Amino acid sequence: MQPFRYHVFVCDQQKPEGAPSCGARGGLAVIEALRREVAARGLEGQVQVTACGSLGLCESGPNAVVYPEGTWYCGLTPADAPELVEEHFRNGRPLARLERREVAEVRAEMAANRDKRLAAMRAREAAGALPDDLNDRIRAFQPSRVVLTALELDLFDAVDDGGTAADIAARIHADPRATEMLLHALASLQLVAKRDGLFHNSPTAARYFTAGSPHNARPALLHTASLWKSWSTLTECVRAGTSVIHQEMGERSSDWTQAFIAAMHRNATERAAPLVAAVGAQGVRRMLDVGGGSGAYSIAFAAANPELQAYILDLAAVVPLAQRHIEQAGLTGRVHTRVGDLRAGHLGEGYDLVFASAICHMLDEKENAHLIQRCYDALAPAGRVVIQEFILDPDKCAPQSAALFSLNMLVGTRAGASYSEPEYTAWMDAAGFTGIRRIRMPGPAGLMIGTRPA
């Protein structure tokens, strides 16, 4: 079977800094350039460009091999892509100036590289060196902290018009020497670029980290900067068995609350459409959104069903933020807010759908059983409860996102955690729900759904 006229494998292997590799020499840029040129010429159905691991010619990269002929190219650059695509992939003429034809020489170079790699592996093993992936994981906090500090300083907005390190330091009211060091670190992460002594935002930073962009994620990511502070107490929390800096939502600063709701709104906006499609909005007349935050899910359900009335229950500090999003969506007549505490009190009655997203992980086992029972009581006959959460496997060792998020609740709450599918099933069954099932969704969270008998 040959589904494509040409199948191009381009090496983008990443190696530790200092080691020659196609990844370090611009393999990804070559892949992107080839894909752009293939698309521009309408050849997507004839040419498949695939990233791959080492092709064995590390000092000569970026390297590519084209099948079915088995043509080898070395030293590719993005600038070569138009000619390569036009001559080889459209006209069937391999590009001689980049082609490697000396079979014996190529094999000898591959063998030499293989011998070097094996010798280095044996030496590291004998020395007891940490594997690169483990060492990278342990030190992963460093690039994270660089980006979070830049966000806290609003540095990317300061860089937006370009400038020297001294110019940017003055704009963010920081030390020039330290600002230059931070900018150099950001340049190493390819979030800023330095040209002729002036710093500029990368396209990625300009899109996601500046106030003028419609995709600006900085307000939401400031919540991650808050998480840094709570995660730094993890050792003390493991000893104590609970958060050592816990504050209830009502006790938090307005800056913390706004960043938290901005983060939740961004996450919910990305997930709302597939969630509504999975749950279904038809036939739902009245919906209760428990701890509904920004209202993103209620807005999505209301948009999917013009007959639906949604009611968001949340704290007094949160409700005004939800109302702002509701007004922007033009749904003030169908999405309503109510101040209340989801841990106590009557939730109401006669709802066709009770939705609780990212709530149960804040509560302990007894609180969850109590909340789910109150959700049952708030439903009309044949009504459904939908819980969106990080759901652990029965042994609680996977998925990784849920296991890590459980620690996020340890450092940030009194007794919250991620819970397993059997635990949710038991709470829902005890409350009286039938047809209990789990729906797996793309991303880290899934759904638990149950129905109140008719």
Average pLDDT over every residue of 64-80? 94
Q: What is the pLDDT of residue 189?
A: 95
Q: What is the pLDDT of residue 249?
A: 66
Average pLDDT over every residue of 408-431? 97
List, for residues 133-190, the tens digit of each pLDDT value.
899 999 999 999 999 999 999 999 999 889 999 999 999 999 999 999 999 999 999 9
pLDDT tier, 211 (very low <50, low <70, confident <90, very high otherwise): very high
Mean pLDDT (the chain, rounded): 94
pLDDT tier, 266 (very low <50, low <70, confident <90, very high otherwise): confident
pLDDT tier, 60 (very low <50, low <70, confident <90, very high otherwise): confident
pTM: 0.82
What are the tokens at 60?
A: 């000569």
**Which residue has better confidence, 251 or 202?**
202
Cα separation, 413 vs 343, whole angstroms: 14
Task: Give the closest residue to 151 by CA, choosing from 182, 130, 124.
Answer: 182
Cα separation, 293 vs 277, whole angstroms: 21
Q: What is the pLDDT of residue 192?
A: 97
Q: What is the pLDDT of residue 258?
A: 86
Cα separation, 354 vs 289, whole angstroms: 6
| For residue 305, pLDDT beyond 70 | yes
Three-state secondary structure of the chain: CCCCCEEEEEECCCCCCCCCCCCCCCHHHHHHHHHHHHHHCCCCCCEEEEEECCCCCHHHCCCEEEECCCEEECCCCHHHHHHHHHHHHHCCCCCHHHEECCHHHHHHHHHHHHHHHHHHHHHHHHHCCCCHHHHHHHCCHHHHHHHHHHHHCCHHHHHCCCECHHHHHHHHCCCHHHHHHHHHHHHHCCCEEEECCEEEECHHHHHHHCCCCCCCCHHHHHHHHHHHHHHCCHHHHHHHCCCCCCCCHHHCCHHHHHHHHHHHHHHHHHHHHHHHHHHCCCCCCEEEEECCCCCHHHHHHHHHCCCCEEEEEECCCCHHHHHHHHHHHCCCCCEEEEECCCCCCCCCCCEEEEEEECCHHHCCHHHHHHHHHHHHHHEEEEEEEEEEECEECCCCCCCHHHHHHHHHHHHHCCCCCCEEHHHHHHHHHHHCCEEEEEECCCCCCEEEEEECCC
pLDDT tier, 347 (very low <50, low <70, confident <90, very high otherwise): very high
pLDDT tier, 18 (very low <50, low <70, confident <90, very high otherwise): confident
| For residue 251, pLDDT beyond 90 | no
| For residue 250, pLDDT beyond 80 | no
Domains observed in the chain: 6-108 (3.40.30.10), 140-227 (1.10.10.10), 249-451 (3.40.50.150)
